[in-house]
Amino acid sequence: MRKKSLSAKKRNLNNITFFLDQIFIKRIYKKFAKNINGINKPLVAVSGGPDSLSLAFLAKCYSIINSVKFNYALVDHKLRKYSSFEADKVVKLLKNFDINCKILVWKGKKPKSNIQKIARDNRYNLLVKECKRLRGNTILLGHQLNDLHENFFLRMSRGSGLKGLSSLGKNSKLSKINLLRPLIDVPKKDLEKLSLLVFKNFIKDPSNSNEDFARVRIRKILDIFQKEGLASKKIDLTIRNLKSANSAIDFYVNKNVKENTTYFKTTKSYILNKKFFLNPEEILIRSITAILKNLSCRYYPPRGKKIIRLVTLMSSQNKAKKTTLGGCVFEKIHGTIIITKE
């Protein structure tokens, strides 16, 4: 190794050691390190906020201490006037710690409605594509404890069932890529403190104070709840209890898909037998959701009521033989259902 490279590595190690000697940061790092143990070729998703900057810093600490390579990527949606300027600013901030972050640009027509969802979907698509290009299988996301609580109440306001209320967890999958959230049990205020200590700055997204977005309104309601005595620990306990019940249902969903469907890899299609439909409504909804996600590779499945309508249609004796849902075609042939990608 060149003398210059050795000097730079030593300087970075000294910087890392200085920050990790602080008890506050060491405590967060230990949680992070425990949650990412054993991952392969991870891609760190950066945005410029305190959550993702903290994530990038902790990943760099881990990479130096354990000699593991991380890749870093930031998505520039170009939805705001200064988004490219902010992206460049974040890249420069990270370079102070020898973190090389690639900017992925979202090209194409920009939405005028449902902006946050469409932007989020495109962000995930770009990150998954980059992760696969790098031959990795894991993306690290900066979701933290406040995101978990906001997601819970946002889903509740939309009338979500058990699955939706407990959906945001440490792990999930998208297009066969693992989505890992190693900071999901760390409060946002701790990550803001860490980011300011290390980087002296972070990007403030103006959409985070725009009450046109439901998530922002939920965030303000949660602040009121907290002042009225609804402690964070009580919300955590409720979510944990729901996750436990959700796991029990998932067991029967997996059993239904395994025993009552046949998957053909060459045609990428499923055949459902009659026993598949002899299950409670929740098991049916989730079983079909699992099949749709596997075939269509979409992150968000259709709503439950649409799936129930489809089940009713396919189970009835009417003349309907073919319909579409969630990017897939459902065809009824002699009492069995064949599902293929649209």
pLDDT at 305 over 70: yes
Q: How far is CA 142 from CA 16, 86, 226, 270, 279, in A?
A: 20, 18, 23, 35, 37
- Residue 330 tokens read as 């459902």
**3-state percent breakdown (helix, strand, coil) of the chain, nearest 5:** 55, 15, 30
With bands split at pLDDT 50, 70 and 90, how would you rate the model's confidence at 1?
very low
pLDDT tens digits, residue range 62-96? 998 888 899 999 999 887 778 889 999 999 999 98
With bands split at pLDDT 50, 70 and 90, how would you rate the model's confidence at 138?
very high
The answer to whether the predicted template modeling score (pTM) of the entire model surpasses 0.75 is yes
Domain map of the chain by residue range? Answer: 10-230, 258-341
Give the residue from 184, 166, 175 showing the smallest Cα distance to 55. 184
pLDDT at 306 over 90: no
252: exposed, middle or buried (Cβ count in 10 Å: 0-12, 13-18, 19+)? middle
pLDDT at 142 over 70: yes
Q: How far apart, in whole angstroms, are the C-alpha atoms of residue 212 and residue 233?
A: 29
pLDDT at 255 over 90: yes
Please give the helix or strand (H or E) that residue 32 lies within, else none. Answer: helix 23-35
pLDDT score for 51 = 94
CATH 3.30.70.270, domain 10-230, yes or no = no
With bands split at pLDDT 50, 70 and 90, how would you rate the model's confidence at 314?
confident
Q: Which of 39-48, 118-127, 253-262 has the highest mean pLDDT?
A: 253-262
- Residue 10 tokens read as 């030593």
pLDDT at 209 over 70: no
Give the residue from 16, 17, 59 showing the smallest Cα distance to 41. 59
Of 340 and 16, the structure prediction assigns the larger pLDDT to 340
Question: CA-CA-CA-CA torsion for 321, 326, 327, 328, nearest 10 degrees?
Answer: -40
CATH T-level topology, domain 258-341: 3.30.465
Q: How far is CA 79 from CA 106, 129, 205, 210, in A?
A: 9, 20, 12, 14
